[in-house]
A and B are shown apart, each in its own frame.
Chain A
Amino acid sequence: MIRFDDVTKTYDTTAQPALDAVSLDIDRGEFVFLVGASGSGKSTFIRLVLKEDRASRGAVYVAGQNVANIPSWRVPRLRRGIGVVFQDFRLLPNKTVFANVAFAMQVIGRSRAVIRETVPDVLATVGLEGKDNRMPHELSGGEQQRVAIARAIVNRPGILLADEPTGNLDPTTSMGIMKILDTINQNGTTVVMATHDDDIVNTMRKRVVELRSGSVVRDDAQGIYVGRPEVLAG
């Protein structure tokens, strides 16, 4: 579903590359943790999948297509096939929960009838039944992230990218979010989650790809992640 073929990304020619000759294959329906310290290249990975940036070298394939060959007017179509969730939720503060989710359908031209039918279903999937008319500031952090997840999956993307989705949440709330992501994955969506929360990674027992200074240093099925090895060693 996502394939990185010897991908290097350099933001500044003099600096160390953000991704350094990364080769990686993520199959349809997989759940992959992308782990590593801040600055290890997790966000760059996500940006390259979305074609927000171009790889300096190598090729990025999404759903079998080399993103470098997608003309700019077709990029929206690529992004419709990918849902994205961020640490800071990125909800529209002046829109209700329903409107926030509906927004993602409106901008790609879905009809009002389809929106009215789909949005409540998706809100139910993320456990927000009956909160349609709340404003984001009336919700807890976990609930806001659920709205963001609902918005990311409402157009039924084949891939869900989550960039530190639990970074702002307490452990209990985080586990709730992880359950939702797992459910979405069970329904067939490929999930790639960047995180440095070792508790979550170790509880979920999914594939773990560890990045360090832009290189893949580990790729374990059902792996674990020790966030700060130097602390343990000391």
Chain B
Amino acid sequence: MRVAFILSEIGSGIRRNLSMVTSVILVTFISLTFVGAAGLFQLQINQMKGYWYDRVQVTVYLCVDNSFAASCAAGPVTDDQRAAIEAKLESEQFAPYVDTVTHETQEEALGHFRDQFANSPIVDSVTADQLPESFRVGLVDAEKYEVIDEAFSSEPGVDAVSDQRDFLETIFRYMNWASVVALAIAGIMTFCAILLIATTIRLSAFSRRRETGIMRLVGASKAVIQLPFILEGVIAAVIGAVLASATLWGASRFLIDGWLVNTFPQTAFISSQQVLLLVPALILLGALLAGLSSLLTLRRYVKV
């Protein structure tokens, strides 16, 4: 009986306050869409990190004729130096860090270069002796790049130690920025949503002050008096959250599944299935947002 009563109270509250409830739905919809977008960026970053960090290598470039590094002062790398570097890479000391070591000669480097820039006119002007020979080092743990860098960058015959992660980090930095921007927008919109929910509850409480006054007099409990207001806000916010989830899922389906996956087949993208993981979080967030802000508003505007 009380459940039916509270439901009918919610119904009448929403009917009386339809335009405000609609605006709460829309604002929570937009704010949670941005929250979700920020979440998706983070998921995507993690996905790519997981994928790429297993594959990144540290490259130890050896000195060539025109190297400027201090360790190259003696000219191009000698056979003894090359052997010493390789021995060191494969020594006991670095066994915990180093997984694989492959040597790339200048000819092989030219081959790779030609493959990579096949459509570019500079290919014809590059010769093998301009490109450095190198050791490609696969790491056990990609995060431990510094160990190799410190140990080898000043070794005689080594020009430079470079980590492919640098390049990836730049991409991740941009993606992080995008998610920070999305979060900032989400923050502002969430703030709007909180204020709007508070105003809506206030108006609703005002338009139903007769009812709540009588409820108080005849001894209705605090829960019976306040629950309809709180649930009114929560229902609106949950509808907003569902709309946001649907939008994110739709966007990921068209954008990622439909376009990015085909355009960049070598990149690991999150699937629209993973977007569904965000749905409960968004709904919970929306419900909490509305529940808390209406609870605080009620404390001030509905006497119990």
Contacts and interface: CB of A to CB of B under 8 A. Distances in A.
A77 B1 contact: no
B218 A108 contact: yes
Contacts of B217: 50, 79, 84
A73 B222 contact: yes
A79 B213 CA distance: 12
A76 B219 contact: yes
A229 interface: no
A76 B1 CA distance: 18
Contacts of B300: none
A84 B216 CA distance: 11
Query: What range describes how many residues of A lie at the interface?
Result: 20 to 34
Nearest to A77: B219
B112 to A, nearest CB: 76
A54 to B, nearest CB: 14
A108 B211 CA distance: 13
24 contacts: A50-B217, A72-B222, A73-B221, A76-B220, A79-B217, A79-B219, A80-B218, A83-B218, A92-B210, A92-B211, A92-B214, A103-B211, A103-B218, A106-B2, A107-B218, A107-B219, A108-B220, A109-B1, A109-B2, A109-B5, A111-B1, A112-B1, A151-B214, A155-B219
Nearest to B208: A92
Interface in A152-185: 152, 155
A83 B219 CA distance: 9
Interface of B: 1-2, 5, 210-211, 213-222, 224-225, 304
B26 to A, nearest CB: 28
Interface centre among A76, A104, A110 (most CB of B within 10 A): A76
Given A72-B304, A106-B2, 14 more contacts: A50-B217, A72-B222, A79-B218, A83-B218, A90-B214, A92-B214, A104-B214, A107-B218, A107-B225, A108-B219, A109-B1, A109-B2, A151-B218, A155-B219
Nearest to B8: A106
A73 B2 CA distance: 18
B2 to A, nearest CB: 4
Nearest to A78: B219
Contacts of B218: 79-80, 83, 103-104, 107-108, 151-152, 155
Nearest to B4: A112
Contacts of A50: 217
A109 B221 CA distance: 10
Given A107-B5, A111-B1, A90 B213 contact: yes
B25 to A, nearest CB: 25
Nearest to A79: B219
A71 B304 CA distance: 12
Interface in A28-42: none
Given A106-B1, A107-B5, A109-B1, A90 B215 contact: no
Contact of A106 (B5, B210, B219, B221): B5
A110 B210 contact: no
A120 B225 CA distance: 25
Interface centre among A82, A109, A110, A112 (most CB of B within 10 A): A109
A194 B210 CA distance: 22
Nearest to B5: A106
A90 B218 CA distance: 12
Top 6 A-B residue pairs of the complex, sorted by shortest distance between their CB atoms? A80-B219, A107-B220, A79-B219, A104-B218, A109-B2, A76-B219
A84 B217 CA distance: 7
